[in-house]
Amino acid sequence: MLKELHLKLVGPSPKLDVELSDRLNIFTGDNGLGKTFLLDIAWWVLTGSWADRPAFPQREREQIPEITCYLNNRTESKPDRSYFDFSTLKWGSFQMSYQLRGLVIYAHANGGFSVLDPARKRKGVYNFTPNKLWDGLRTDGKVLCNGLIQDWVSWQRQPDQTTFKLLSDVIRQLSPHPGEGIEPGEPTRVSVEDIRDIPTINLPYGNVPIIYASAGMKRILGLAYVLVWTWYEHTQASKLRNQSPLDQIVLLMDEVESHLHPRWQRAILPAILKVLTGLQEQTKIQALVTTHSPLVLASVEPIFDQETDRLFLFQLESQKVTLNEIPWCKQGDTIGWLTSDIFGLKQARSIEAEKAIEAAEAWMRSDNMNAFPDYLKTSEQIHQQLMQLLPGHDPFWPRWIIKMEASQG
């Protein structure tokens, strides 16, 4: 498990320090401030491999870019450090990937995945593009992964359907709730040019081959497959090596809400944690996830434990990027989260409606209206804007109507 990360002269901030919790770590903040970058660094620290391009540091002649990290399962207190060598344009190696006692899974926002399994590939990782995830991963004449389509059908047709039942259960758990979830159907052919039988899913309106599923459902199916495939192949490799399966899993997930409807967004993260903990008794789970969704944050209110979970916020302050832990505080609903310090909206409305209400409040206080545009100077103009922008049941109306009637009385 990853305990601490300290970055110097690498990424959007000259210096970044983060102390991670043992279970759930949620990172949020505006676009472009470093959330995905932090996950990429965490992946490299844990695996010794970059998921995409290596991080290129800032150039400072008198200082050396540095990445420092701690694992919380190490007995010694000394950290691991890596320095960037500008002469070779490379980072120094970590030794941490070979000391890990767990699996590492990275779910990318684009639908790709990366996996490290110390029992299978001790000095390398498995990188899946979305296509390779579905069609298989091969290299040097070796089949590293059959792919979602072939494995799904193979597991479904095995006399012992233990693995297929696990896949089916995981898919159901990652679906929002009974009646609208994803149920595996019978495989079918879809093309005369593709001899493969394609898995299908039973939806309320009919049976659909998975290659025609929506982007959101494909991400759920891909995630379910990677979790099951990683665990299944890890147990097989552990048997061959005559050793017990590892008891730790680190999950990195970028934009956990990607492609998902709000109904799914408010169920996905607790479901993922439940699936991971259900793979094996007493398995320790550490998750580092990024999100822009207030529904995702609202969804973890019932399960957030301040002893094991943390919430972090990337911010831009005086043209400098900062990363700070935010004290956990329930907001109750998405509006509460949208107007909290996490997302920083004044109101959970359109920009135009927010501006009209600000003008209305200024007029009610008899403030100077010069700061507002010409179409929001008078009470009549403001009223017309409010009529255009606010629904009839909006809670702002009573205040405004009472004030308007009082001014006209």
- The C-alpha atoms of residue 96 and residue 116 are separated, in whole angstroms, by 12
pTM: 0.92
Tell me the two tokens of residue 275.
């699936």
For domain 2-338, give the CATH superfamily.
P-loop containing nucleotide triphosphate hydrolases (3.40.50.300)
DSSP string, 110-166: TS-EEEE-TTT-TT--EEE-HHHHHH-EEETTEEEE--HHHHHHHHHHSSS-HHHHH
pLDDT score at 122: 63
Q: Which residues contact 79 (CB under 8 A, 6 or more apart)?
A: 4, 6, 68, 69, 70
Q: Taking a C-beta distance cutoff of 8 angstroms, is the pair 288, 252 a contact?
A: yes
Residue 2, judged by CB atoms within 10 A of its CB (0-12, 13-18, 19+), counts as buried
Q: Taking a C-beta distance cutoff of 8 angstroms, is the pair 251, 231 a contact?
A: no
pLDDT score at 76: 54
| pLDDT tens-digit readout, 58-76 | 887 678 999 999 887 555 5
Q: Tell me which residues of the chain have a pLDDT lower than 50.
A: 97-98
pLDDT score at 36: 95
Q: Is 253 helix (H, G, I), strand (E, B) or coil?
A: strand
Whether the CA torsion 260, 261, 265, 271 is positive or negative: it is: negative
Q: Which amino acid is at 250?
A: V
Beta-carbon count within 10 A of 72 CB: 11
Tell me the two tokens of residue 67.
């990445």
Domain ranges of the chain: 2-338, 351-408
